[in-house]
Structure 1
Amino acid sequence: MILRRLLPLPAVALGAAVLIFLLPRLAGGDPVRAVLRSRVAEAEPDPAVAARVSAELGLDRPLPEQFLRWLSDVLTGDLGLSYATRTPVAPQLLSAIGVSALLTAVALALAAAVGIPAGVHAARRPGGVVDRLVGVASVLGVAVPEFILAPVLVLLLAVAVPLLPALGWGGPAHVVLPAITLAAFPAALAAQVTRAETADVLGRPHVVLARAKGLRDGVVLWRHGARLALTAVTSLSGLFFAGLLSGAVVVEVVFAVPGLGRLLHDAVVGQDLPVLQAGLLAVVVVAVVASLVADAVQLALDPVARTAARA
């Protein structure tokens, strides 16, 4: 199955590269003016200077030639120079990815530690108190957006009760609030999916037979029920990781975290095309790799999926 998933990747990568190259240009705006405004505080740049900067950046060339040059540079590891700062993009991107990857990993670990046990215990007694509490909490986790949850957490845990820092990125304490904000949605969704899958698995014949043999409820629940239910959550984890890594713009801006989301936000505001293109390309690569890893883990957990993949 993994080999079959790898076959169309070159075509997917080429299509993604074309979209990444074209989208910033189709969105409008003049990158030359943005570059000049970032270097010289002038409302209307001199046409001669604008023409020179356009030639310097290669923006005066035909669009297909610009794309081929950009793609060639990317394939050789050259992500270009930032229009605004004139510094290489690659170090900025690697630093931002490292910060976002750490934040995303902590958020996913927190989401799994909360959502999976909550979903399993909710499925143990459908309609019970735990099931209702988990249902209400999961609905709130899905419904409350990050741009509302983040300020609320800052007011509660950084202002009203100053337990944690509200801004910056310097130590373990700075990870807590952004990670909780990012973990709310995947934890709620993991609880819902785990609850539904576990309830379905617990009604299957092999689980009923295990109970009939006298196995304890805890053993049946976790060894036979939850293990198979985890395959559904695992299949979503790759999407969660890629989505959180690229979609943490609000969280990273609110908490002043120098991650990939903040980098993309600043690139959009400043019309910094090399940084924006490199960031979007990193998101695509992470999404593909995370999806493949999730598929491999799912095969390891689910013997039925392994049998189907070999067929």
Structure 2
Amino acid sequence: MLRRLLLLPPLLLAASVLVFALPRLTGADTVRTVLRARTASAVPDPAAEARVAAEFGLDGSWPEQYLRWLGAAARGDLGYSFVTRTPVAPQLGDALQVSALLAALALVLAAALGIPAGVYAARRPGGWLDRFVTGAGVAGVSVPEFVLAPVLVLLFAVHAGALPAIGWGSPSHVVLPVLTLAVYPAALAGQLVRAETIAVLGSPHVRTARAKGLTPHRVLWWHAARLSTTSVLALSGMFVSGLIGGSVVVEVVFGIPGLGRLLYDAVLAQDLPVVQAGVLAVVAIALVAGVLSEVAQRALDPVPE
């Protein structure tokens, strides 16, 4: 774990280089983009270009700009938005709180649905519950979020009128987005846990537990399910980063002011500081979540050195 933790700083540094360089490699003129948003002039004045470049730290060579940006980011200063001219850090913090809440609720719901379904389906492979869980898992993995979200809005908001279609601020606004985000990880977790539990149930230590007279419930959950969930924990870091950074469709469809929506709007507006800060935050969360998921996996299934 210490070796993994020591890898985080250089990985984050490499990610910061890519995040800084990739937008500039597209060939877009950031200074002119800002000026076109502020004025209607097709040919910006050179003096105005120089003022904007100095205002946003876009003067100087790329290495100078990168070191200036990295030093400010290390102090918590993520710059100012090209569009709103407000600090990026508060915008990013507010958006991360919303996305983190959605991701946490979606992961809890996915675990509550997928893990028990996979465990109980593995008790009788080929039975009716196993066939149902397998079919539901295939459907859940196959249906993309941009299809599922409008369908849920149509069913529960338009026809039933039970839940709001868009907005943020009340518990009822959370239900449809969380359900949309939870379907894929729940389906994948159910399939993984089912396959792992079937394999573990045939292992020698489970047969020994049964021979000792332990109850079927204790054998299933303590000796089989505990080990079969390690595969889900191994992917939990990917789930976390995917839910926080990849929920663009869900947040746009439901009008949620999270990180996905912030990045979507920033890309459309070519708001470079917001894009850089958002992508770097997603990368950092993915790296940290990967290390934490490995710690949890080792806690459940220790591997001797």
TM-score bracket relative to the smaller structure:
over 0.9
Matching residue's letter, 1:172: P
Matched-pair contact (CA < 8 Å) for 1:36–1:45: no
Q: What residue number does 1:46 align with?
A: 44
SS at match of 1:7: helix
Show CA shifts across 1:26-75 (max 9, x none).
Answer: 234332233223333x2625233334322322323111111111111111
Q: What residue number does 2:281 align with?
A: 282
- Mean CA deviation greater in 213-222 or 179-188: 213-222
C-alpha distance 152-28 of structure 1, shift in aligned 2 (>3 A): farther
Q: What residue number does 2:181 align with?
A: 182
Q: What residue number does 2:217 align with?
A: 218
Q: What residue number does 1:151 align with?
A: 150
Show CA shifts across 1:221-266 (max 9, x none).
Answer: 1111101111111111111111111000111011111001111111
Matched-pair contact (CA < 8 Å) for 2:35–2:44: no
Q: What residue number does 1:252 align with?
A: 251
1:207 aligns with 2:211: no
Matching residue's letter, 2:44: D
- Distance between the aligned counterparts of 2:294 and 2:57, measured in 1? 41
Unaligned runs of 5+ in 1: none
SS at match of 2:229: helix
Q: What residue number does 1:173 align with?
A: 172
- Mean CA deviation greater in 193-202 or 45-54: 45-54
SS at match of 1:80: coil
- Mean CA deviation greater in 194-203 or 44-53: 44-53
- Distance between the aligned counterparts of 2:224 and 2:150, measured in 1? 38
Q: How does 1:78-227 map to 2 (within 5 A)?
A: 78-227=77-226
Matched-pair contact (CA < 8 Å) for 1:83–1:273: yes
Matched-pair contact (CA < 8 Å) for 1:154–1:177: yes
- Distance between the aligned counterparts of 1:63 and 1:114, measured in 2? 49
- Mean CA deviation greater in 5-14 or 93-102: 5-14
Q: Percent identity?
A: 62
Matching residue's letter, 1:219: R
- Distance between the aligned counterparts of 2:209 and 2:59, measured in 1? 71
- Mean CA deviation greater in 232-241 or 153-162: 232-241
- Distance between the aligned counterparts of 1:142 and 1:28, measured in 2? 37
Structure 2 length as normaliser, TM-score? 0.96
- Distance between the aligned counterparts of 2:146 and 2:41, measured in 1? 33
RMSD: 1.3
- Distance between the aligned counterparts of 2:266 and 2:109, measured in 1? 30
Show CA shifts across 1:126-170 (max 9, x none).
Answer: 111111111111111111100000000000000010111111111
Matched-pair contact (CA < 8 Å) for 2:98–2:258: yes
Unaligned runs of 5+ in 2: none
C-alpha distance 43-261 of structure 1, shift in aligned 2 (>3 A): farther
Structure 1 length as normaliser, TM-score? 0.94
- Distance between the aligned counterparts of 1:129 and 1:46, measured in 2? 69
Q: What residue number does 1:298 align with?
A: 297
- Distance between the aligned counterparts of 1:46 and 1:209, measured in 2? 79
List structure 1 segments (4+ residues) > 6 angstroms apart after TM superposition.
none
Matching residue's letter, 2:64: E
